[in-house]
Every structure is written in C-alpha cells, then in structure tokens.
C-alpha cells in the first residue's frame, strides 16, 4: 500500500480551510530566510503557496547569507512584539556564522510554529501540550489517517536531528511504541533496521535504505527529500523497498505535503494560544 501524503494533505487542507474561514481575523505567518540555499528557497516558496491557498497572510524576511546575527535577532524581536504576527519560522539550515540555537530561542515560544524553541521541546519531552515540530507531527498524522497501529510496535528511526529524529522518537514513545534511534555511528545498522515494524528514514542520503535492510511487511516512512540525477528522491530506495513493505510513503507526495499541513495547523494553534493569553490579560485588567 502506498501511503498517499499528498491526497491526505489535500483532505486535511479542506478541513483547515473551513477552520480558518471561521476565525475572526486573518492570521499571519512570518518566514525568515537567510542566504540562497536552493532547497530552502523551494520549501519557503511552498509554505507561502499553502498560506495563500488557505487565506493566511505570509510575510517573508529575506537576508543575504552574510547578514550579521544581531540584525536577524532584531527582526525576530520586532515580530515577537507585533500583535498582528501569529507565527514565526526561521528556515533551517542557517549559514555557518550564525548561532542557530540563539536565533531559534529568540522566537517567542507562543509564536514558534516549528516547535523548536527550548520551551516547546521541553514541553514535548515532558508530555505537556505545546507546539510539535511539523515533520514529525505530519508523520504521526499520516499514520493515524491510515489507522496504522503504533502501540507496542518496534519503531526504528534512522536519523537523530532536532527537526525530525529526536522529536519523532518522543511522539512515537507517547503512542507506546518501542523506539530505537539509529544514526551514522550505529553498529550493524542493517540488523537494527531489519528488526523494525515501522522504519523511518530521516538520514538525508538518497536511496540509502535498501530492500535487504527492511523486514517483510514493515511500514516504511521516508522523510528524505534529495535531488538525485535531476529528480527528487527519498532516503529509501522506493523501487526495491515497495516490494517488501506492507505500506510505504513515496517521495515526492509523501511526508513533504504532510509537513506543510502540520505547519499550518501549528500557525492556527499559535493563534489560539495568543488569543487565550490576550483574553486572560483582558480579564485581569477588568478585575
Ligand atoms: N528545513 C528543513 N525542514 C525544515 C522545517 O520543518 N522547518 C524549518 N524551519 N526548516 C527546515
């Protein structure tokens, strides 16, 4: 079975459209892009496109690759203060001279649509409600839409990034999976991946996962998006692995579109959190 991320994302987009139409005001996402990474430019373009489709304002703040950190921090601080801005996203990766942690953690956690600030990561770790990173959230939503059971299953995630591997491990654990995170230093990787009931590839190497690394009838989730011989391919060798897996996500049209839908869900969640705070403050003002 092919897990149709694109189709699922379109279905969810229709639901989001209705939810967004009902909101009392137009919500706004600010996207910060630094430098000319081609993949980042494409991702950002797709995010703007989705916002436009759904009636969300999206504003871009573009900086050249050599922009000093302090001017980026200043823009983020202004966006934090701007009540018209509901979400702030800094597209990663950033150029090397910038401190990613400092930049991300300057974002107001209540506007952190990527769920990457310490506050939101801490909430995730502590099982408290917060904003979850978009790609892992998209993976969980897709599995849920297909009613794929996670409880008690052996989940192996290859890749330990803060955007995907680590937060996804926590979300899987919340659903009572038995979770292993494998990575470039894992010994006998094939033995580890072959044990997985659900195998997630988030490595960033084209077609890395081959048929002999996958257990028969495993569910295979491919988070990779790589340009390879002028085509987009995932981290899984799809043509080989599709013969073995019981379910698999394609690239493109798999996790990519699910990530963008999750991002939009996060923008709405941030808006709701901000409204709640505003109403509380109003009440306090009255008493
Ligand atoms: N770069 C690759 N994926 C992502 C993402 O989900 N968020 C951000 N901010 N940068 C990314």
Cα→Cα distances 28→84, 117, 119, 159, Å? 7, 19, 22, 32
CATH classification (class only), 134-255: alpha beta
Average pLDDT (71-99) is 98
The sign of the torsion formed by the CA atoms of 103, 105, 111, 113 equals positive
Which residues are 227's β-sheet partners?
232
Q: With a cut of 80, say whether residue 286 has pLDDT above it.
A: no
Average pLDDT (55-59) is 98
Return the ligand 1 atom nearest residue 93 CA. 1
Average pLDDT (195-202) is 98
| Cα–ligand 1 centroid distance for 259 (angstroms) | 9
Q: Structural domain boundaries of the chain? A: 21-108, 134-255
**Ligand 1 contacts CB of residue 163 (under 6 A):** yes
**Ligand 1 contacts CB of residue 135 (under 6 A):** yes
Say if residues 199 and 156 touch (Cβ distance below 8 Å): yes
Q: What is the mean pLDDT of the chain?
A: 97
Q: To test ligand 1's pocket by mutation, which of 33, 94, 111, 114 has the most ligand atoms within 8 angstroms of CB?
A: 114
Among protein residues, the one with the nearest Cα to ligand 1's atom 11 is 92
Please tell me whether residue 2 adopts helix, strand or coil conformation.
strand
Taking alpha carbons only, the member of 198, 204, 163, 164 closest to residue 180 is: 198
* CATH number, domain 21-108, options 3.30.200.20, 3.40.50.10860, 3.60.15.10, 3.40.190.10: 3.40.50.10860
Q: Which helix H or strand E contains 13, and what residues bound it?
A: helix 5-22
Rounded-to-integer distance, Cα 274 and Cα 86, Å = 8
Q: With a cut of 90, say whether residue 285 has pLDDT above it.
A: no
- The whole-number pLDDT of residue 48 equals 97
Taking alpha carbons only, the member of 67, 78, 136, 132 closest to residue 108 is: 78
- The whole-number pLDDT of residue 210 equals 98
Among protein residues, the one with the nearest Cα to ligand 1's atom 9 is 91
Task: Return the half-sphere exposure (C-beta side, CA atoms, 13 A cut-off) of residue 150.
Answer: 26
Q: What is the pLDDT of residues 209-232, one digit of tens each?
A: 999 999 999 999 999 999 888 899
Task: Return the half-sphere exposure (C-beta side, CA atoms, 13 A cut-off) of residue 5.
Answer: 25
Q: With a cut of 90, say whether residue 162 has pLDDT above it.
A: yes
- The whole-number pLDDT of residue 25 equals 94
By DSSP bridging, strand 231-233 and strand 226-228 are: antiparallel
Average pLDDT (66-93) is 98
Asked if domains 21-108 and 134-255 share a fold, the reply is yes
Whether this prediction's pTM lies above 0.85 is answered by: yes
Q: With a cut of 90, say whether residue 15 has pLDDT above it.
A: yes
Q: Which helix H or strand E contains 64, and what residues bound it?
A: none
**Ligand 1 contacts CB of residue 104 (under 6 A):** no
């Amino acid at each position: 079975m092919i897990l149709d991320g694109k189709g699922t994302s379109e279905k969810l987009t229709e639901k989001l459209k209705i939810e967004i139409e009902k909101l009392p005001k137009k919500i706004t996402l600010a996207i910060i892009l630094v430098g000319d990474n081609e993949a980042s430019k494409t991702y950002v373009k797709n995010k703007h496109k989705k916002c436009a489709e759904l009636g969300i304002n999206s504003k871009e703040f573009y900086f050249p690759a050599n922009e000093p950190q302090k001017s980026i921090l200043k823009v983020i601080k202004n966006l934090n203060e701007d009540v018209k801005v509901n979400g702030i996203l800094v597209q990663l990766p950033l150029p090397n001279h910038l401190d990613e942690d400092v930049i991300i953690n300057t974002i107001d956690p209540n506007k952190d649509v990527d769920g990457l600030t310490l506050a939101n990561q801490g909430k995730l770790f502590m099982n408290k409600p917060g904003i979850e990173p978009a790609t892992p959230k998209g993976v969980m939503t897709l599995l849920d839409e297909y009613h794929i059971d996670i409880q008690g299953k052996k989940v192996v995630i290859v890749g330990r990034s803060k955007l995907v591997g680590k937060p996804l491990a926590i979300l899987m654990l919340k659903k009572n999976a038995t979770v292993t995170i494998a990575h470039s230093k894992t010994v006998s990787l094939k033995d580890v991946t072959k044990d997985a009931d659900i195998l997630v590839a988030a490595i960033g190497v084209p077609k890395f996962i081959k048929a002999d690394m996958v257990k028969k009838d495993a569910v295979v989730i491919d988070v990779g998006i790589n340009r390879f011989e002028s085509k987009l391919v995932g981290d899984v060798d799809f043509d080989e692995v599709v013969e073995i897996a019981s379910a698999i996500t394609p690239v493109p049209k798999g996790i990519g579109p699910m990530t963008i839908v999750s991002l939009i869900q996060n923008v709405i969640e941030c808006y709701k959190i901000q409204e709640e705070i505003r109403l509380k403050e109003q009440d306090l003002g009255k008493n």
